[in-house]
Amino acid sequence: MPVEYPSPSTPSLPRVRRRALLGAACALVGGPALAGAPPVLLRFSHVVAPDTPKGQMALRFQALVHQRGGGRIRVELYPDSQLWGDDEMEALRLGAVEMLAPSLSKFGMAGVPEFEVFDLPYLFADLAQVRRVTQGAVGRGLLERLARQQMRGLGFLDNGFKQMSARRALRTPADYRGLRVRVQASRVLGEQMRALGAQPVVLPFGETQRALASGVVDAAENPPSNFLTQGLAALQPHLTLTQHGYLGYAVVTHPRFWESLSRVDRVLVDDALAEALAHGNRLAEALDRQALATLRQTPGLRLHALGAAEREALRRHLRPVVDGFGRSVGAGLLRDVQRAIGSG
């Protein structure tokens, strides 16, 4: 018999009932029987530092699962590309890891180009707009599309908005000309840099610091928490607050792993993750502000705020990237996203 499990789009049971189910199951089988249930190992790999929204979310998830699973479900965390780097989705397919939270930019190359809509420059003005998309029907539809690539999408997490770093201030489109800029493997991000006259260089996150130090690349785009925790301030003396693009994540697992869990364990993991994601999303803005405050105090680093006219010039220059996405990936999706953004 096929195993039934809750879908991310239409959770089969309201959360209160799921808790009741969990409690009833524990009562029915009793402690010793649950203790006799097979142990579960859940390896959660990610590429950033623990002191970031993703790192903190993963820590909260681990704590909740350990506390509620009585030690039988073991969550091993591997931050900072310790286990897998940008090859993490391949590792998930091969069963070498059970859970990931790749940035949304990385799903395009994994066969789900619709996710690159989140990379479009100046599409979102703030995180409230992003959430109208990720926490609504459009977000649910996108998570469902991951099934095409043998992934089960479990939820979205914010980091924040990206700023541009380099050895000079980047105030106008002309300032980008000729720069080699590290980008994630996303066609939209590549197009974005080309539109500014820069050369995009795709590199794994874990190699970015070395590439900046050795001069393989001249510039990078990161949200403040990643820029700070990767120690990039020591290498890039100018951080221009362009706020030009969003960086967020989707938590995914492999359907094979998900279906291997008992119904009770699935509810436990799903609930713990929902709480951990809510925690991470609450933290995202605070960590962003804290990182910026620390960066403002960092000797040798200069922060440059853009005026409205400068930002508008950049936005106008990047507009063809948005139109190109509409033509190549989906005008319908773009319209749905824009509608969701405007619906608040």
Applying CB under 6 A, which residues contact ligand LMR? 47-48, 103, 159, 184, 205, 226, 247
CB of 7 to ligand LMR, least distance (A): 26
Cβ neighbours, 10 Å, residue 37: 14
33 to 38, 66, 205, 271: CA distances (angstroms): 10, 18, 44, 22
Residue (198 or 267) nearer to ligand LMR, CB: 198
Asked if 272 contacts 61 with a C-beta cutoff of 8 angstroms, the reply is: yes
Residue (54 or 266) nearer to ligand LMR, CB: 54
CB of 260 to ligand LMR, least distance (A): 26
Helices (H), the chain: 15-36, 53-69, 88-94, 127-134, 137-145, 187-195, 208-214, 224-229, 255-260, 263-296, 308-325, 331-342
Residue (181 or 267) nearer to ligand LMR, CB: 181
Residue (156 or 205) nearer to ligand LMR, CB: 205
Residue (122 or 227) nearer to ligand LMR, CB: 227
85 to 15, 51, 79, 177, 308: CA distances (angstroms): 34, 18, 10, 30, 37
